[in-house]
Amino acid sequence: MATARVLDTDFFINRALPTGGMKTLVISTLTSADSSDTIDLDIAKYGGGSVVGIIGFTHTTANSIAIQEQPTTTMSGSTIQITIGGASNDQARHFLLFLGPTKNA
């Protein structure tokens, strides 16, 4: 069953450089993240106007090898919903979210 993950409880945002123009957010979940769980994030709160791209990773074993695992995404206004991909449960997930300064036309 899919679970909506909660900011600062189930996942965390580490803001990367820079403070103006393009931005990169690092989103990390706890090891309890399952396939099909969702993360809702208002990109406007982090200075983003559009999503340029996302790259996802998962640990194949706890705190071990990280492999690429792409999520799916949808946008509603300035909120992106990230749906965790893959087939494994109870694994940490990490996402690099690339934000543009303006909304897409």
- Determine, yes or no, domain membership for 105: no
In angstroms, the Cα distances linking 67 to 3, 4, 91 are: 22, 23, 12
Q: Could you tell me the CATH number of the domain that includes residue 68?
A: 2.60.40
- Determine, yes or no, domain membership for 57: yes
- Averaged over successive runs of 10 residues, the pLDDT of the chain (105 residues) comes to 82 65 87 93 90 91 82 95 91 92 67
- Determine, yes or no, domain membership for 20: yes
pTM metric for this prediction: 0.80
| Domain around 54 | 4-100
- Determine, yes or no, domain membership for 91: yes
pLDDT for position 105? 47
pLDDT for position 16? 57
CB of 43 closer than 8 Å to CB of 80? yes
**What domain count does the chain have?**
1
